[in-house]
């Protein structure tokens, strides 16, 4: 009886059923699309972060930079030359000096923090790195020793107003000078810790990567884009901090169209010694035993290292910039509120049409009550009709939502995102050096510190992929059931309040 009556009522009120179902379908489809796009954006953010921090890195530990105290140095590297430095040829003196140091805006902390992190419960692995900037100063200037010799001879001759001839030489032969500053990023890391950290997010392009036997050795692995722009290859040498390193391999980022976290990778102990940062780290990368342990591990590390900044992947996602950040804000703000607004509108439409239908069926419900139908049975009948209407809308909404997701994945809009593990992202790239500038261009806009910044800012182009998950479909079905039951409950309550006498008066 219930299903026969249900089928007859739905067939007799096709217009009402269609309007309620379509309204519910549009709301559910929008919810499905927004949730799927949000999941895609979240996955894209994780991809950008992995290109910098490494696959499997759940938590990063850093320390906020502190301003230099009075009397301490600050800013970029300072180059000092003695009077006898450089090589003089034909009146031109060529000077060159290389400095390896932690970049401006970054901070280092004692490596004992790594042991503290490893002692935290549910820490599966942890690795420390030291982020540095190598800055090389090259210049050509006239031989000022000639001018000094003339001044000395004038003093010996007793002349105090003798005019000295301007120095000759220099790059233009007329006493001019020319200077060039080239910088590139250097990352010191533990060669034996390749399962976590920046090197876990790269693929070998040529040669080999660092291994445990490279501790203490002057060997380097280069980002493939930087190696190409700097015209370097496996087997060549690269001067880092005034020391020649043998290039043993090149790597590329696992993320498409992304640069790796650094231009140059060298053993951690060597980086610490050359930079004067013995026993110091700038980052610790942590892998939790399970995703469910991340919050506990983060809290325990914060308690053990109160001066450190402990960030999860979710925390770091807020640092991702570019169109990816814009998309994230759009989905989380506009998309969420728009979905809620449409959903509320759909529910109101279903409720109003159900109440309107109940009002038009006054005779019907009054007669049913007169022949013995209970209020409970009438409420159940109205609720059943609304539930079926909601389920029809849910099925239609799921179909529309899936089509929308397919369209998004076919179009695959490209989003750009960048994340930095420390220091500042400078639009101009490395200061002055041609090799560094070319590297930034080849790396998709990556910029490294030089005198005014620090490393590990990488720009990644990510194709947005909106996944379809069981949870999204479950949410859609739940919304359909909720909408139907809500409309049915209110409409059924309205019908249950009708009296048989109203039906008899209507008939009469």
Domain ranges (residues) in the chain: 2-45+325-414+466-507
Q: What is the pLDDT of residue 333?
A: 63
Nearest Cα to Cα of residue 28 among 473, 386, 353: 473
| Pairing relationship of beta strands 109-110 and 202-207 according to DSSP bridges | unpaired
Q: How does DSSP assign 124-142, residue by residue?
A: EEEEEEEEEEEEEEEEEEE
User: Which of 468, 417, 485 shows the shortest CA–CA distance to 446?
Assistant: 417
- Helix (H) / strand (E) element for 180: namely strand 178-189
Phi-psi sector, 136: left (phi>0), alpha (psi -120 to 50), beta: beta
The owner of tokens 């992202």 is 425
pLDDT value at position 297?
93
Residue 483 is predicted with a pLDDT of: 84
Q: Look-up: residue for tokens 């053990």? A: 304
The whole-number pLDDT of residue 299 equals 93
Task: Kindly state the helix (H) or strand (E) to which residue 286 belongs, with its residue range.
Answer: strand 283-288
Measure the CA dihedral 386/390/392/394, to 10°.
-170
434 and 451 in contact (C-beta within 8 Å)?
no
**Orientation angle between helical segments 375-411 and 470-496, nearest 10 degrees:** 150
Q: Pairing relation of β-strands 219-223 and 237-240? A: unpaired
Tokens standing for residue 219: 């060997």
396: CB partners within 8 A, 6+ apart: 21, 22, 24, 25
Q: Using the CB atoms, write b or e for 309-326: b if 16+ within 10 Å.
A: ebbbbeebbebbbbbbbe
- The gap between the terminal CA atoms of the chain, to the nearest Å, is 28
pTM here?
A: 0.58
| pLDDT tens per residue across all 508 residues of the chain | 566 766 776 676 778 788 888 888 888 888 888 888 887 777 777 676 666 666 667 888 988 765 555 555 555 555 555 555 556 666 666 766 778 888 655 688 999 999 999 999 999 989 999 989 888 877 666 665 655 555 555 555 555 454 555 555 555 555 556 666 778 889 999 988 766 778 777 888 999 999 889 999 999 999 998 999 999 999 999 999 889 999 999 998 776 555 677 899 999 999 999 998 999 999 899 988 888 888 999 999 999 999 888 988 777 666 565 555 566 666 666 666 777 788 788 888 888 878 877 777 777 777 777 777 787 887 888 888 888 888 888 899 899 989 998 998 888 877 666 665 443 333 333 333 333 333 333 333 333 333 333 334 455 666 778 888 888 788 888 888 888 888 888 887 877 776 666 555 655 4
- Residue given tokens 């409970």 in the structure block: 376
pLDDT at 355: 80
Q: How many CB atoms lie within 10 A of CB 502?
A: 15
Distance, in Å, from the CA atom of 190 to the CA atom of 210, rounded to the nearest integer, reads: 9
Nearest Cα residue to 389 out of 479, 480, 474: 480
Longest CA–CA span in the chain (Å) reads 139
Dist. CA 483–CA 341, nearest whole Å: 14
Q: How far is Cα 310 from Cα 317, in angstroms, rounded to an integer? A: 14
pLDDT for residue 220 = 95
Which residue carries 């991340």 as its tokens? Answer: 294
* Alpha-carbon distances, residue 79 vs 91, 95, 112, 132 (angstroms): 22, 11, 32, 17
Half-sphere exposure of 283 (CA within 13 A, CB side): 30
Q: Decide: 456 and 350 in contact? Cβ < 8 Å.
A: no
């Amino acid at each position: 009886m219930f299903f026969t009556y249900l089928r007859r009522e739905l067939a007799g009120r096709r217009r009402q059923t269609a309007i309620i179902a379509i309204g519910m379908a549009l709301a559910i489809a929008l919810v499905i699309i927004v949730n799927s796009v949000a999941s895609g954006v979240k996955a894209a953010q994780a991809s950008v972060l992995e290109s910098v921090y490494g696959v499997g890195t759940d938590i990063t530990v850093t320390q906020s930079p502190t301003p230099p105290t009075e009397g301490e140095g600050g800013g970029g590297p300072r180059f000092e030359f003695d009077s006898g430095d450089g090589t003089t040829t034909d009146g031109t003196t060529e000077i060159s000096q290389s400095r390896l140091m932690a970049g401006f805006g970054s901070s280092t902390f004692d490596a004992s923090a790594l042991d503290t992190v490893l002692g935290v419960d549910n820490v599966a692995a942890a690795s420390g790195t030291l982020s540095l900037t190598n800055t090389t100063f090259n210049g050509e200037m006239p031989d000022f020793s000639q001018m000094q010799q003339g001044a000395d001879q004038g003093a010996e001759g007793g002349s105090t107003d003798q005019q000295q001839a301007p120095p000759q030489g220099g790059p233009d032969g007329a006493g001019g000078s020319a200077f060039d500053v080239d910088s590139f990023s250097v990352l010191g890391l533990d060669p034996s810790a390749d399962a976590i950290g920046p090197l876990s997010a790269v693929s070998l392009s040529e040669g080999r990567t660092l291994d445990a036997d490279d501790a203490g050795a002057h060997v380097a692995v280069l980002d493939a884009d930087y190696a190409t722009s700097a015209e370097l290859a496996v087997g060549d040498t690269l001067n880092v901090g005034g020391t020649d390193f043998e290039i043993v391999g090149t790597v590329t980022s696992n993320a498409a169209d992304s640069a790796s976290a650094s231009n140059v990778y060298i053993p951690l102990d060597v980086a610490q010694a050359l930079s004067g940062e013995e026993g110091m780290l700038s980052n610790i990368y942590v892998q939790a035993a399970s995703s469910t342990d991340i919050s506990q591990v983060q809290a325990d590390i914060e308690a053990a290292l109160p001066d450190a900044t402990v960030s999860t992947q979710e925390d770091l996602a807020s640092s991702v910039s570019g169109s990816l950040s814009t998309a994230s804000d759009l989905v989380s703000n506009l998309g969420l509120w728009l979905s809620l607004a449409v959903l509320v509108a759909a529910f109101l439409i279903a409720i109003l049409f159900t109440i309107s239908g109940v009002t038009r069926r006054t005779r019907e419900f009054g007669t049913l009550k007169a022949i013995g139908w209970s209020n409970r049975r009438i409420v159940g009948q109205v609720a059943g009709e609304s539930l079926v209407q909601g389920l029809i809308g849910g099925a239609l909404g799921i179909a529309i939502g899936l089509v929308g997701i397919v369209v998004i994945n076919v179009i695959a809009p490209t989003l750009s995102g960048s994340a930095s593990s420390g220091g500042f992202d400078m639009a101009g790239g490395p200061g002055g050096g041609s090799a560094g500038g070319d590297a930034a261009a080849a790396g998709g806009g990556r910029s490294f510190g030089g005198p005014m910044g620090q490393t590990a800012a990488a720009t990644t182009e990510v194709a947005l992929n909106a996944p379809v998950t069981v949870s999204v479909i479950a949410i859609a079905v739940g919304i359909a059931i909720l909408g139907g039951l809500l409309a049915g409950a209110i409409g059924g309550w309205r019908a249950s309040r009708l009296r048989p006498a109203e039906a008899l008066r209507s008939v009469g």
